Amino acid sequence: MATMQKIISNLWFDSQAEEAVKYYVSIFKNSKTGKISRYGKEGFEFHGKPEGTAMTIEFELEGQTFLALNGGPQFKFNEAISFIVNCDTQEELDYYWEKLGAGGDPNAQVCGWLKDKYGLSWQIVPTILGDLVTGQDAAKSGRIMNAMLTMKKLDIEALKNA
């Protein structure tokens, strides 16, 4: 995290930012935790966090820098923002689906989308998906799209064979 990334995703948590960062860093192999700022006595009447509680945590997943904030219960994640994890193999897709989906909302799983245990939305997709659904053969692209709409976790072979 030596070079400052121009645009950084800021993830607002109630009070689980530190726990969530440890969780995400444990899942992605190319990841690390960076600087942590902590709440002090100053501003307690506004933030209400005990002194020493993590305020922000920089972290990196696969070369992408994020910031996690313990901001309080005012805001929750929703599906309007999600993170796409491109997977080259079914094994890799299965790994991320299992790890990120553990403890999440099973009712929020559709077409490669899932919600993790913190309510953050992820799309676990094969890298070839774009080519499959935008190919020259419109009928085949339609069959692939119809097959995908019946899946929760995506199945690369089933999509290719649609």
Work out the number of other CB atoms within 10 angstroms of the CB of residue 6: 6
pLDDT confidence of residue 100: 97
Q: Are residues 33 and 90 in the same domain?
A: no
Structural domain range at position 28: 9-70
Highest averaged pLDDT of the listed ranges 3-12, 113-122, 125-134: 113-122
pLDDT tens by residue, 93-118: 999 999 999 999 998 899 999 999 99
Q: Tell me the C-alpha distance between 72 and 146, whole Å.
A: 41
- Answer whether residue 101 is part of any domain: yes
Report the chain's mean pLDDT, rounded to a whole number.
92
| CB environment 30-67: b (16+ within 10 A), e (fewer) | ebebeeeeebeeeeeeeeebeeeebbbbbbbbeeebbb
Q: Are residues 86 and 63 in the same domain?
A: no
- Answer whether residue 106 is part of any domain: yes
- Counting the structural domains of the chain, the total is 2
Q: Are residues 56 and 86 in the same domain?
A: no
Say whether pLDDT at 59 is over 80: yes
| 16 phi, psi to nearest 5 deg | -105, 20
- Answer whether residue 40 is part of any domain: yes
Q: For 2-129, list the strands marked E by DSSP.
A: 9-13, 31-38, 54-61, 64-70, 82-87, 105-110, 113-115, 121-126
- Answer whether residue 134 is part of any domain: yes
Q: What is the CATH number of the domain that holds 40?
A: 3.30.720.100
